[in-house]
Amino acid sequence: MPEMDRRSLLKMGAAAIAGTVIGNGVTLYTSPARAEEGGGPPGAAATNALEIPSKGKARWGMVIDNNKCTAQCTACTAACRTENNVPLFGDERYDGHWIRKVTLTPERGGPEKHLPLLCNHCDQPPCQHVCPVAATFTRHDGIVMIDKHRCIGCRYCMIACPYKARTFVFKETSEWTNKDVPKRAHGVVEKCTFCAHLIDQGKIPACVEACNKSGEGAMIFGDLNNPGSAIVKYIRAVATKGIREDLGLEPKVSYTGI
């Protein structure tokens, strides 16, 4: 199929860009996990296949080792845009962001940190709490999703989300980059789905796949309920922290090194 060719081509392009980055990338800290496992990136242990437990048993989560994440690498964001048709209008006021790279500069001085931000798929999602029409819901596997067939575009969820994880479709978007996945009409709110359509097929999210393949291997995705999964092993070995855990929303995305 021609669209498949285009997709793999895009991914190859992303890989080529990331390849040059790896050469210049400076790893500021040695990750404890890396030391423990003898230098092999823990993310690489994960294959692109997922073990899908029976319904209601899984609780998908993500750990991002931002010691590995470098400034220039955009593998995850590019892969996400391609996979999910996330629109880029060239106007930062309206661009959609399902996953975005940010730079953290410590106010008291020190090295900069780079990390991707995405929907944290909270166990207690305030966006779902405030949605008047129950368009936002939590799937049986813990993924917080928006039913765009039902969203009325009131944008209350964007007000309630403390992570700025949601964007509104301000304009009509252009063509599909991935025709297997729907794009969206203007007037609805959208956000990261953990690539639920891929998970249902037993694949890992596009950003994680891209990070493993052409990025730094900084993202680990897996089942938080499965004690044998790479992500649970990692969390047990390394101190991780969610963003704004003080709000008590119990995010399923956590970071090391912030």
Partner 1 sequence: MKRPAATAAALLALLAAPLFYAGCGNAKAPAPQLTKPTNATECVEPAATMRANHMNLLRHERDNIVREGDRSRKYRIEGCAQCHTKRAEFCDRCHDYAGVKPECFDCHYLP
Partner 2 sequence: MANIKTKFTVIEGNSAGYWLLVAVLGLLSLGGFWSSYMMFLHGHYMTGMTNAIPWGFPIVMAVYLIGLSAGSLVLSALSSVFGRTEFKPLARISALLAALLLIGALMCIILDWGRPDRILVPFYSMNPRSMFSLNGMLYSTYIGICFVYLWAMFNHKEKLVKLLGFTAVFWAVLVHSGTGAIFGFVGARELYHSPLLPPSFIAAALSSGTALMILVLYATFKFTGRQLDDGLIRRLGLYLAVFIAVVAYLVFIENVTRSYWPGNYAVQKFLLLFGNKYSLIFWIGMIGCGLLFPFIILANPATGKSIGWILVASALVVIGVLAERYIIVIPGQVMPMEMFPGYHIAGPFQDGRMIDYYLSPMEILFGAGITAFVFFLYALSLKFFEMTPDKAAGESGN
At residue 19, φ and ψ (nearest 5 deg) are -60, -45
Single-letter code of the amino acid located at 233: K
Strand partners, 221: 62
Selected binder of partner 2 within 58, 78, 188, 199 (CB under 8 A): 188
User: For partner 2, which stretch binds (CB under 8 A), given 4-12, 50-58, 127-135, 231-239?
Assistant: 127-135
Print the SS3 string covering 136-182. Answer: EEECCCCCEEECCCCCCCCCHHHHHCCCCCCEECCCCCCCCCCCCCC
Please answer whether residues 69 and 116 qualify as being in contact, where contact means their C-beta atoms are separated by less than 8 angstroms. yes
Q: Does 140 bind partner 1 (CB under 8 A)?
A: yes
The residue type found at 33 is A
Q: The tokens of 138 are what?
A: 């939590």
Q: Report residue 138: phi and psi, to 5°.
A: -105, 125
Binding region for partner 1 (CB under 8 A) out of 177-185, 211-219, 232-240, 243-251 = 177-185
15 binds, among partner 1, partner 2, none (CB under 5 to 8 A by kind): none
According to CB under 8 A, which one of 25, 32, 53, 187 is a site residue for partner 2?
Answer: 187
Which residues inside 134-153 make contact with partner 2, applying CB under 8 A? 134-135, 150-153
* CA separation for the pair 141, 135 (Å, rounded): 17
**Both structure tokens of 100:** 């975005």
Residues 159-178 interacting with partner 2 (rule: CB under 8 A): 159-164, 167-172
- Nearest distance from residue 185's CB to partner 1, in Å? 4
Residue type, 236: R
Name every residue whose Cβ is closer than 8 Å to that of residue 57 and which is 6 or more positions away in sequence.
Answer: 225
Tokens of 48: 């692109």
The residue range among 12-20, 25-33, 119-127, 133-141 that interacts with partner 1, by the rule CB under 8 A, is 133-141
Assess 180 for contact with partner 1 (CB under 8 A).
Answer: yes
Rounded Cα–Cα distance for residues 142 and 255 (Å):
18
**Closer to partner 2 by Cβ: residue 53 or 162:** 162
Rule CB under 8 A: which residues touch partner 2? 92-95, 97, 100-108, 113, 117, 126, 128-135, 150-156, 158-164, 167-172, 186-189, 243-244, 247, 258
Rule CB under 8 A: which residues touch partner 1? 55, 137, 139-141, 143, 145, 147-149, 176, 179-180, 182-185, 196-197, 199-201
